[in-house]
Copies of this chain bind each other. A is one copy, B any other.
């Protein structure tokens, strides 16, 4: 007996993470039970605790994976955008357009952002996770700020804005757009917000 599937281990772990991510984005972390995850993956509770020592470890792995994937996505998009155009401003504008296209091509409304989800349940987690979350947002700020400062050196802003705030606005517009899209169940709001932000960037640096 006991003919359980033998998997590569990391495969099982990834399966848990994958089910957990969508469950957490739909029901919150506190509303997601370990029992439902092991039922979905097809392992026992002991199996779960073999991979994660407790629920907090699951949360950490979830967030870390999410941040890594986002970092990769932004890398890829910036690369593609700058490939098409080596002017920093137009590269950024292409980046925003590519981002809007990807969001628009999604089959359903955006599944949600773990950073937002976690910041609305942060007292459930260890301070380590809260710091990881903050570091993720600061990383985005840094990334966009660097690009904006580069742009500003070539295109003196027509409108006086703080570049740090404008960098945060990229993150904010996405987080806010996701919330609206999810809430009203209209997947197009998010890409529209990105494109509207793009108009703002144009008007800041080009004045139209």
A185 to chain B: which residues have CB within 8 Å? 134
Q: Which residue of B lies closest to A29 (CB)?
A: B28
A56 to chain B: which residues have CB within 8 Å? none
B177 touches A172 (CB 8 A): yes
Q: Which of these binds chain B: A42-50, A86-94, A193-201?
A: A193-201
Task: Jot down 12 A-B pairs with beta carbons below 8 A, ordered by A.
Answer: A25-B120, A26-B122, A27-B124, A116-B179, A137-B184, A165-B193, A168-B180, A172-B179, A173-B173, A175-B179, A175-B180, A176-B179
Q: Is A150 an interface residue (CB 8 A)?
A: no
Number of copies: 2
What is the size category of the interface that chain A forms with chain B? 35 or more
Residues of A within 8 A of B (CB): 25-32, 112, 115-117, 119-124, 133-134, 136-138, 159-162, 165-166, 168-169, 171-177, 179-180, 182-185, 189, 192-193, 195-196, 199-200, 203-204, 208
Chain B min CB distance to A72 (Å): 20
Interface of A is mostly: helix
Chain B min CB distance to A48 (Å): 18
B27 touches A121 (CB 8 A): yes
A120 touches B122 (CB 8 A): no
B121 touches A31 (CB 8 A): yes
